[in-house]
Amino acid sequence: MTDPWQDTSLPTDARVADLVGRMTLAEKVAQLSGIWGVDPDVGDMAPMLREALAAGQRFEDLVRDGLGQLTRPFGTDPVEPADGLRSLAERQRQVVAANRFGIPAQVHEECLTGLAAWQATVFPNPLCWAATFDPDLVERMGARIGTTMRGLGVHQGLAPVLDVVRDLRWGRVEETMGEDPYLVGAIGSAYVRGLESTGVVATLKHFAGYSASRAARNLAPVPLGPRELADVILPPFEMALRAGARSVMNSYTDTDGVPAAADRALLTTLLRDTYGFTGTVVADYFSIAFLESLHHVAEDLDEAARLALEAGIDVELPSTNAYGEPLLAAVGAGLVDEKLVDRALVRVLQQKCELGLLDPGWAPVEAGDGPDGAVDLDPPEARAMALEVARRSVVLLANEGDALPLAPGARLAVVGPRADTPEAMLGCYSFPMHVLVHHPGTEPGLEIRTVREALAETFEVTSALGCPVLGGSDADIAEAAAVATDADVCVVVLGDRAGLFGNGTSGEGCDVADLTLPGRQEELLEALLATGTPVVAVLLVGRPYDLTRQVDRLAALVCGFFPGEEGATAVADVLAGRVAPTGRLPVSFPGPGSTQPSTYLASALGQRSEVSVVDPTPLFPFGHGQSWAAATWDDATVVGGPEWATDGACELVVGLTGDPEQATSEVVQVYLHDRAASVVRPVQQLVAAARVDLAAGERAEVRFALHADLTSFTGRDLVRLVEPGAVELRVGASSGDVRSVVELRLTGSVREVGPDRVLEPTVTVVRG
């Protein structure tokens, strides 16, 4: 006879309650943390486990009371996928056999650019997702990633990053989806829907305010007011929670002196009581221990465990520092009520129950789908998806004199630090840049072409380095200039090297003081421009850079951000004209004075002014992007007249007619301008967007149903309001390219709205 907790016919709550009642305190606490690593005999995959074994402890002893999670069994060292699958299965069998209830561990991995594992597909970085302005495509990509993870027995993915960019100098800009909360929320929610559709738990991070640190420094204090938090930082999390995310990860930072890992108002009052979240809150790696060692709000790990548990962190990751012996000691000393342990435990076990980990007969994944149990983590359908996203994300910033597409038969000089290296395509959370850099000599396990290789398939190409990302010599720059002189067109590929904690120019811990191109790349660009050969610049970057001194002299400028393993093909397809550029900027490119970056969400005081010599006007605005052809836009209209009830919706209609000779793709962007509000508002803010693909000469009508809730903001009393008054809907191709303005008046009484408000428009495209 099975116990009630094993009875799959019973409700989850009943099963979990029965199991909790049977567990000792040690068994409860064991479910609230994990172990980093799987197999101590494979490289450096499991340093924490190896240390334990060296002290005379066996893995079975470590898990005799149970185990909450296994940390990154595939994402710590380069392990053959089939070997990793076998090792994980063996560890899960050991976990099940060792603990009294036979409960397996929940397995998590990073998945910001696809599953972070050796030989797994590297998809474009999140900035590229946002540049597509195509949630449906991103949802399909998320599902593809989730399918791979679930096939390996991985239950949870640590993505997406929903931090809204507040300062472009921050190193982790590359991990974000840009500077606009609506776009971040729409694209992030799409990824969540895709990942969760496969049964993999999506983890939202970093909750909340990580990207708003002082001077854009990583893991720094956050000078964040409650209104900016509510109106800019939190909406993407609200949207993604509605999309079905089942886990949230706390931010490392402190806001107004309170670390997020110890912030009950954030992790419990707001997240659970207000938003209604019922999933798990997992600690960003080591953040509970940081309460003692970094924030100094705890005297020891016992107190750190108490603060985090009281705040609402359910699971300590990546391994046990505080939610082990320190937590047991704190409960034993009466410093922590066991009811708090039970509260976290119930959430952990409910999720394990949802994942089938409490079901009788559960068994680990034993082998892959291929012949003899082989595992292919980069199948053709995944590469095709990576290519589709990469192509959709390439942004044509400028194209003077129609220099692009390149003329057939053109002789190209392909130069620059990112022209002939596969790593130019990859962000800091891709497996090759995150893990393989610590294993020199190990093959990447993937075919990743370079821009030079991709262009050489179509054009006659000569090449030279010019300079590395950092450093270089005068002789190398001169060599590149000489190569450019003998070419019809020079394609210079500039950008970042992704890395961690100072080992790159972009990535976690790779913050910068200003937005000039790294190293001597600007010198190289000037030398190439001096040759008189038309110069097409391609940027493979983790953040925008200041190109104001060169842009008017470039023949064309293209941005690919970090476009993943198929990025070179995508860039070459655009340059050669096989594919039209369709990407739009999710972040503004800075204008002069790049030591004072600003996002487009500035208020009137944040715009250009005669009382300051610093001009924050961007070189290329948020939403900008060109193509070979453009549709003809009709003036936007509103169905039903200029009055918009504060508790109702208006219908905005925009007509488009495709170019008569070729297909076009437009992103219709709708910005709200509040003429006068009770608090200072951004001059304009995106409230809706729709990508519309048109065949040659095709006619389409885009209809946006915009609820008045989309105009809401946090008022003087810190209550979210919809206020009556005059507003404008600015419809255009970017925040700086407004095609028509519709004047409306919100009518009715002031309305208070909460987390149940309408967060997104309804968009309908009618063709013909």
Compute the distance between CA of residue 86 and CA of residue 103 in angstroms, rounded to an integer. 19
Question: What is the tens place of the pLDDT at every residue in 139-152?
Answer: 999 999 999 999 99
Q: Do both 524 and 454 map to the same domain?
A: yes
* Residue 4 forms part of a structural domain: no
How many CB atoms sit inside 10 A of residue 587's CB?
Answer: 27
Question: What is the tens place of the pLDDT at every residue in 658-673?
Answer: 999 999 999 999 999 9
Question: What is the tens place of the pLDDT at every residue in 627-667?
Answer: 999 999 999 999 988 999 999 999 999 999 999 999 999 99
pLDDT grade, residue 374 (50/70/90)? confident
Give me the CATH number covering residue 523: 3.40.50.1700
* Residue 622 forms part of a structural domain: no
Map residue 70 onto helix, strand or coil: strand
Q: Do both 553 and 657 map to the same domain?
A: no
Which one of 373, 405, 439 terminates a domain? 373
Query: Tokens at residue 261, please?
Result: 């890992």
Question: What is the tens place of the pLDDT at every residue in 181-234?
Answer: 999 999 999 999 999 999 999 999 999 999 999 888 998 889 889 999 999 999
Whose tokens are 């609200």? That residue is: 238
Q: Which helix H or strand E contains 633, and what residues bound it?
A: strand 632-633
* Residue 381 forms part of a structural domain: no
Q: Rounded to whole angstroms, what are the CA distances from 443 to 76, 261, 400, 469, 621?
A: 15, 38, 40, 22, 40
What is the structure's pLDDT at 610?
A: 82
pLDDT grade, residue 37 (50/70/90)? low
Query: Tokens at residue 422, please?
Result: 């596969």
Segment 369-384 shows an average pLDDT of: 88
* Residue 612 forms part of a structural domain: no
pTM: 0.96
pLDDT grade, residue 340 (50/70/90)? very high
CA angle, corner 573, sides to 572 and 576, nearest 5?
80
Domain that holds residue 439: 391-606
DSSP string, 168-208: TTSGGGGGS--S-HHHHHHHHHHHHHHHHTTTPEEEEEEET
Which one of 343, 373, 403 terminates a domain? 373
338 contacts: CB under 8 Å, gap ≥ 6: 25, 28, 331
Q: Do both 287 and 399 map to the same domain?
A: no
Omega cis (within 30) before 208: yes
Which one of 606, 622, 656 terminates a domain? 606
Least Cα distance to 359 among 654, 747, 43, 96 occurs for: 96
Which phi and psi angles does 733 have, rounded to 5°? Answer: -90, -10
* Residue 221 forms part of a structural domain: yes
- Beta pairing partners, 726: 745
What is the structure's pLDDT at 368?
A: 72
CA angle, corner 148, sides to 569 and 31, nearest 5?
135
Give me the CATH number covering residue 722: 2.60.40.10
Compute the distance between CA of residue 647 and CA of residue 709 in angstroms, rounded to an integer. 7
Q: Do both 86 and 136 map to the same domain?
A: yes
Per the structure, the count of domains in the chain is 3
Q: What is the DSSP letter of 639?
A: E
Least Cα distance to 179 among 548, 586, 659, 661 occurs for: 586
DSSP string, 438-468: GSTT---SS----HHHHHHTTSEEEEE----
Q: Do both 586 and 675 map to the same domain?
A: no
What is the structure's pLDDT at 373?
A: 75
Are 408 and 566 in contact, with CB atoms under 8 Å apart? no
* Residue 589 forms part of a structural domain: yes
Q: Do both 430 and 506 map to the same domain?
A: yes
Burial of 93 (0-12, 13-18, 19+ CB in 10 A): middle
Q: Do both 601 and 670 map to the same domain?
A: no
CA angle, corner 491, sides to 488 and 497, nearest 5?
165
266 contacts: CB under 8 Å, gap ≥ 6: 207, 208, 250, 258, 260, 311
Give me the CATH number covering residue 220: 3.20.20.300
- Beta pairing partners, 649: 707
Compute the distance between CA of residue 711 and CA of residue 211 in angstroms, rounded to an integer. 24
Share of the chain above pLDDT 90, in %: 88
Query: Tokens at residue 472, please?
Result: 């270089």
Q: Do both 716 and 757 map to the same domain?
A: yes
Least Cα distance to 175 among 418, 500, 468, 424 occurs for: 500
Answer whether residue 741 shows pLDDT above 50.
yes
215 versus 694: the higher-pLDDT residue is 694
What is the structure's pLDDT at 607?
A: 81
* Residue 378 forms part of a structural domain: no
What integer best gives the mean pLDDT of the chain? 94
Answer whether residue 48 shows pLDDT above 90.
no
Compute the distance between CA of residue 53 and CA of residue 322 in angstroms, rounded to an integer. 20
Least Cα distance to 139 among 80, 92, 202 occurs for: 202
Compute the distance between CA of residue 223 and CA of residue 722 in angstroms, rounded to an integer. 26
pLDDT grade, residue 44 (50/70/90)? very low
Compute the distance between CA of residue 464 and CA of residue 485 in angstroms, rounded to an integer. 12
Question: What is the tens place of the pLDDT at every residue in 561-602?
Answer: 999 999 999 999 999 999 999 999 999 999 886 656 567 898
Q: Do both 364 and 433 map to the same domain?
A: no
Helices (H), 558-648: 567-576
Which phi and psi angles does 672 have, rounded to 5°? Answer: -95, 130
Pick from 218-232, 481-495, 723-737: least confident: 218-232
Segment 117-129 shows an average pLDDT of: 98
Q: Do both 360 and 406 map to the same domain?
A: no
Q: Do both 364 and 428 map to the same domain?
A: no
Q: Do both 286 and 412 map to the same domain?
A: no
* Residue 379 forms part of a structural domain: no
How many CB atoms sit inside 10 A of residue 330's CB?
Answer: 23
Segment 249-267 shows an average pLDDT of: 96
Answer whether residue 49 shows pLDDT above 80.
no
Answer whether residue 54 shows pLDDT above 70.
no
